[in-house]
Structure 1
Amino acid sequence: MSVQQVLDLIKEKNIEFVDFRFIDLAGRAHHITLPATEVDAETFVNGVAFDGSSITGFRGIEESDMVMMPDTGTVYVDPFTAHSTLIVVSNIHTPDGERYERDPRSIAHKAEEFLQKSGVGTTAYFAPESEFFIFDDVRYESTMNSSSFFVDSEEAAWNTNRKEEGGNLGFKIGVKGGYVPVAPVDSQQDIRSEMVRLMQEAGLRIERHHHEVATAGQAEINFRFDTLTTTADNLMKYKYIVHNVARQYGKVATFMPKPLFGDNGSGMHVHSSIFNDGVPLFYEKGGYANLSEMALHYIGGILHHAPALIAITNPSTNSFKRLVPGYEAPVNLVYSKGNRSAAVRIPVAAVTPKGCRIEFRTPDSTANPYLAFAAMLMAGLDGIKRKIDPSALGYGPFDTNIYELSDDQKKEIRSVPGTLDEALDALEADYEFLTEGGVFTKEFIDNYVNVKRAEAKSVAIRIHPHEYGLYFDC
């Protein structure tokens, strides 16, 4: 969409405000809103100024001036504001007009450019399956003398005897019993359908929605694959709509990987493939799972660099509460066709040559999607460049349930890091594949690690309620 087309849209839709947004290091959106009367062609040339020193992981106060440069290809009408508002996602520039190296969208764009220059292919496609919970109540605190959290859902297994409902209507979802039941067990059909309706109005192509495995309102909505940066933009739009529709229904949605102990967490399984001028490069009939040699090398790169990669695709302390055996979490660094206990799965049901892809199941939605997809692509391209054979390195294929292997057999399989700090250690030791072509910079990685180390420390030094049960009577 051209600048003039955006200005025409503002008039056509009687837009009152234009909301300019950018994405921070953690993958959260920020915005500044201008009256539509103040937006003209010059706005798209000069951008919108903001204070970078107030954004964690960006700039110090001595060099805080930054500029949002609007991307006219990202516009959509905000479905939630009382006053008609047009949303425009922006790239971040320095005052001298340079792309800011810590801008996640800049890194995503550079990864796409690196692919095109590599000669491997022209386009990388991504499709995330971002799971979430819809709760009725959430409360938490962490103070000097108290620490607690509480979540609740009318669907939850623990509410079979709750009296507050004014007559318990039953049909609660058991632990690990939530996969695609019909109403009245699934009580969230309408709220998910409303999310889908607004996503479609905002330009997303939705393929399906359903209840997920966990009790207490776990859900999934799948949208169509697209190019790397566009898919990251779409995921930000997706999360914005999920959060705000839940709020409209008097509920709250969270993409937190492990909000509940003892049931499945929420992952973000990411499908990816590479095309060359419209020709799929991952398909070869007769190969393992009909994969080409290039696709296997791409898998090799993902699995070889996985410990470092996970610092970006699973960048929270809570991520590693999900990455434990027994809850469908892909903790084993192997690949397999159709096997959901592997970190990399190759879907084989109803797949065409153009639909042939790999699915990296480890990531979760605490990841910044621009960084996560860019890092995945860089790991895969490194595997292609170095012809990393995943089978030769012991990464599979494993077509059995890995969780049912003997302890001796499991010892032969690499696992994901056990903590965020371990993943950050791996990233510090293995980052060169990310800096190829200047996609990520060493300065960016050092800054990223410092920010995430601070998060990990803030959790590690706090008293956990469970410690009282373990140690208070010592």
Structure 2
Amino acid sequence: MGEYSAATDKTVSDRYLTLDTDGHCQVMYCWVDGSGENLRAKTKTMDFVPEKASDCPVWNFDGSSTDQSEGSNSDMFLKPCALFRDPFRRGDNKLLMCEVYKYDWRPAETNYRKTCDEIMTRAADTEPWFGIEQEYTLLGSDKWPFGWPKGGFPGPQGPYYCGVGANKVYGRDIVESHYRACLYAGVKIAGSNAEVMPAQWEYQVGPCLGIEMGDHLWMSRFILHRVCEDFGVIATLDPKPMEGDWNGAGAHCNFSTLAMREDGGIDVMNEAIKKLGKRHKEHIRAYDPKNGEDNARRLTGRHETSSIDDFSSGVANRGASIRIPRQCGIDGKGYMEDRRPSSNCDPYRVTEALVRSTVLDDWET
């Protein structure tokens, strides 16, 4: 009865969502809560259509209900940062990615965007490009992987990666809806595919310049959760949703600077890899919301991962910490792939760490 009462007929809302709004538009403010991995959102009516994030006013919310403040002093500020089209309300309506600040304008503990933006500004002349491969797993309302036999398991991994057919992939309608919604919103989604574990999927965002990577990936996640809400399915970013002989979920980060993309860039990449090796522990702490604890369940040295305790690199090696794609090795330039970030990582922390280590050589500020 509980599940039935929580379900609604989505077609009923169509008659209301097409009503004229008399010159108003709805802007949904989105932010990262105190968990460092979950998103919250609420809507403001505006009597004009904002064209950029700075057109939107600073707003506030109750931080005591999001694990971000004490109840006795709970107001937190939402600073507009990145504006997108709203694929759910459509029309002139918008989605807005925000930073969170405390009552005295100190950044909230999980506001990693502020320092990331500062680092990207300092490194702007090196033109850091990023692309993140976001893996996730679809779950039913019972928290069991979507499409799996109830309480049971499908056949071993092998036929599911980039698979086709009802016995190979589960939830493609959700994936296609999310893809199209991201394109409509203006998120730089670059592709998608079924992953190695059934009910696990991946999409890619990028290439993005600097701070844009975090803004676009966080908004793509918001859209994913919102699409899944419509389908009555859960998307989990847990890096090891199923124990045993099943692949975990990561957020591999592809990274390059202008010097890496130009002739002779392979030498710049190799120097960058040396610097990354010296900062392995710092990166592991930055690559999941629990400072490495989540990734410890995934980075075991099995299932296409490197060991969390060891740093390694290689051309076309999917078991390494850092992989240089085969074609980049042949061309002698291009980009490298950091395979360590977990699926629930904060992209602001990941991209900031990469630039700190390889470009600025600075972990002090």
Q: TM-score range by the shorter chain?
A: 0.7 to 0.9
CA positional deviation for 1:333: 0.8
Separation (CA, whole Å) in 2 of partners of 1:124 and 1:46 = 30
Q: Deviations over 1:347-386 (max 9, x none)?
A: 123789797111110111222211221122212235xx5x
Are the structure 2 counterparts of residues 154 and 37 from structure 1 closer, same or farther at C-alpha, using a change threshold of 3 Å? same
The SS at the match of 2:122 is: helix
CA positional deviation for 1:88: 1.6
Match of 1:212 in 2: 195
2:274 corresponds to 1:295: no
**Partner amino acid, structure 2, of 1:370:** Y
- Structure 2 gaps, min length 5: 1-19
The SS at the match of 1:261 is: coil
Q: Deviations over 1:110-153 (max 9, x none)?
A: 1112224xxxx4321111101011122434xxxxxxxxxxx143
Note if contact 1:205-1:223 (Cα within 8 Å) is conserved in structure 2.
yes
Note if contact 1:130-1:364 (Cα within 8 Å) is conserved in structure 2.
no
CA positional deviation for 1:273: 0.9
CA positional deviation for 1:232: 0.7
**Partner amino acid, structure 2, of 1:295:** M
Separation (CA, whole Å) in 2 of partners of 1:19 and 1:186 = 33
Separation (CA, whole Å) in 2 of partners of 1:368 and 1:177 = 31
Match of 2:281 in 1: 307
Count of residues in correspondence between the two structures: 336
Matching of residues 116-155 of structure 1 within 5 Å:
116=124, 121-139=125-143, 151-155=144-148
Instruction: Choose the corresponding residue for 1:91, options 99, 103, 106.
Output: 99
Match of 1:18 in 2: 27
The SS at the match of 1:342 is: coil
Match of 2:11 in 1: none
**Partner amino acid, structure 2, of 1:23:** V
Between 265-274 and 329-338, the greater mean CA deviation after superposition: 329-338
Note if contact 2:315-2:329 (Cα within 8 Å) is conserved in structure 1.
no
**Partner amino acid, structure 1, of 2:121:** E
CA positional deviation for 1:75: 1.7
CA positional deviation for 1:30: 2.8
Q: Deviations over 1:2-39 (max 9, x none)?
A: xxxxxxxxx99965422223334514333332222499
Are the structure 2 counterparts of residues 35 and 222 from structure 1 closer, same or farther at C-alpha, using a change threshold of 3 Å? same
Instruction: Choose the corresponding residue for 2:176, options 189, 193, 199.
Output: 193
CA positional deviation for 1:270: 0.4
Separation (CA, whole Å) in 1 of partners of 2:270 and 2:193 = 31
Match of 2:78 in 1: 68
Instruction: Choose the corresponding residue for 1:326, options 281, 295, 302.
Output: 302
Instruction: Choose the corresponding residue for 2:363, options 429, 434, 445.
Output: 434
Q: Deviations over 1:176-197 (max 9, x none)?
A: 5421121132243333222111
Are the structure 2 counterparts of residues 95 and 258 from structure 1 closer, same or farther at C-alpha, using a change threshold of 3 Å? closer
The SS at the match of 1:349 is: helix
TM-score (norm 1): 0.62
Between 12-21 and 325-334, the greater mean CA deviation after superposition: 12-21
CA positional deviation for 1:328: 1.1
2:40 corresponds to 1:30: yes
Instruction: Choose the corresponding residue for 2:247, options 254, 264, 267.
Output: 264
Matching of residues 215-294 of structure 1 within 5 Å:
215=198, 217-262=199-244, 263-275=246-258, 281-283=259-261, 291-292=266-267, 294=268
Match of 1:464 in 2: none
Match of 1:466 in 2: none
Are the structure 2 counterparts of residues 35 and 132 from structure 1 closer, same or farther at C-alpha, using a change threshold of 3 Å? same
Note if contact 1:210-1:219 (Cα within 8 Å) is conserved in structure 2.
yes
Q: Greater CA radius of gyration, 1 or 2?
A: 1
Between 349-358 and 173-182, the greater mean CA deviation after superposition: 349-358
Q: Deviations over 1:61-106 (max 9, x none)?
A: 66654432323xx22233235997422223345666x563743221
Instruction: Choose the corresponding residue for 1:48, options 55, 59, 63.
Output: 59
- Structure 1 gaps, min length 5: 1-10, 140-150, 161-171, 276-280, 386-432, 439-474
Separation (CA, whole Å) in 2 of partners of 1:19 and 1:47 = 13
**Partner amino acid, structure 2, of 1:274:** T
Instruction: Choose the corresponding residue for 1:376, options 331, 338, 354.
Output: 354
**Partner amino acid, structure 2, of 1:69:** K
Are the structure 2 counterparts of residues 137 and 46 from structure 1 closer, same or farther at C-alpha, using a change threshold of 3 Å? closer
Are the structure 2 counterparts of residues 66 and 357 from structure 1 closer, same or farther at C-alpha, using a change threshold of 3 Å? same
Are the structure 2 counterparts of residues 357 and 39 from structure 1 closer, same or farther at C-alpha, using a change threshold of 3 Å? closer
The SS at the match of 1:291 is: helix
Separation (CA, whole Å) in 1 of partners of 2:22 and 2:348 = 30
Instruction: Choose the corresponding residue for 1:100, options 102, 107, 123.
Output: 107
2:156 corresponds to 1:174: yes
Identity of aligned residues (%): 22
What is the RMSD of the two structures over their aligned residues, measured on CA atoms? 3.4
CA positional deviation for 1:312: 1.3
Note if contact 1:155-1:173 (Cα within 8 Å) is conserved in structure 2.
no
**Partner amino acid, structure 2, of 1:191:** I
Relative to total residues, which structure has the larger helix share, 1 or 2?
A: 1
